[in-house]
Amino acid sequence: MAVEHQEDSQILLEQIMPQIAAQLRVAMGNIHTALTRLVPEEMPEGEGSTGQSAAILCQSYYRLLRLVNNLSAAPLISQTEPLETKNVELVAWLTELIHCAQPLVAHAGVKLTLRCSLTAHVAAIHPSYLERLLWNLLSNAVKYTPSGGEVTVTLRAAAGQVLLTVADSGVGIPPEQQAHLFDGYLEKLRMPPPPQGLGLGLPLCQAIARGHGGRLLLQSGPEGTTVTVSLPDRRCTKTVLREPPFAYGGGFHPVLLGLADALPYTAFTRKNLD
Report the distance separating Cα 26 and Cα 82, nearest Å.
31
Distant-in-sequence, close-in-space partners of 250: CB < 8 Å, separation ≥ 6:
none
The answer as to whether 231 is a domain residue is: yes
What is the DSSP-derived secondary structure letter of residue 44?
P
| Residue range of the domain that includes 154 | 85-248
The pLDDT tens digits of the residues spanning 110-125 come to 999 999 999 999 999 9
Task: Tell me the per-residue pLDDT of 123-176, one tens digit each, with 9 for 90 and over.
Answer: 999 999 999 999 999 999 999 999 999 999 999 999 999 999 999 999 898 887
Per-residue confidence (pLDDT) for residue 9, from 0 to 100: 66
Give domain status of residue 176, yes or no.
Answer: yes
pTM of the model: 0.85
The reply to whether omega before 127 is within 30° of 0 (cis) is no
If one counts the domains in the chain, the total is 1
Q: 15-28, pLDDT tens digit by residue?
A: 676 777 777 776 67
Query: What CATH number is associated with residue 156?
Result: 3.30.565.10
For residue 143, the model assigns a pLDDT of 93
67 occurs within a structural domain: no
- Asked if the structure places residue 233 within a domain, the reply is yes
Whether 104 is covered by a domain: the verdict is yes
Evaluate whether residue 240 is within a structural domain.
yes
CA 21 from centroid of its chain's CA atoms: 17
| pLDDT at residue 92, rounded to an integer | 97
Neighbouring-strand partners of residue 123: 88
Altogether, the residues listed in the chain come to a count of: 274
Q: Has residue 18 been placed in a domain?
A: no
pLDDT in tens, 221-273: 989 999 999 999 999 987 666 666 555 555 678 899 999 999 999 998 888 87
User: Per the domain annotation, does 256 fall within a domain?
Assistant: no
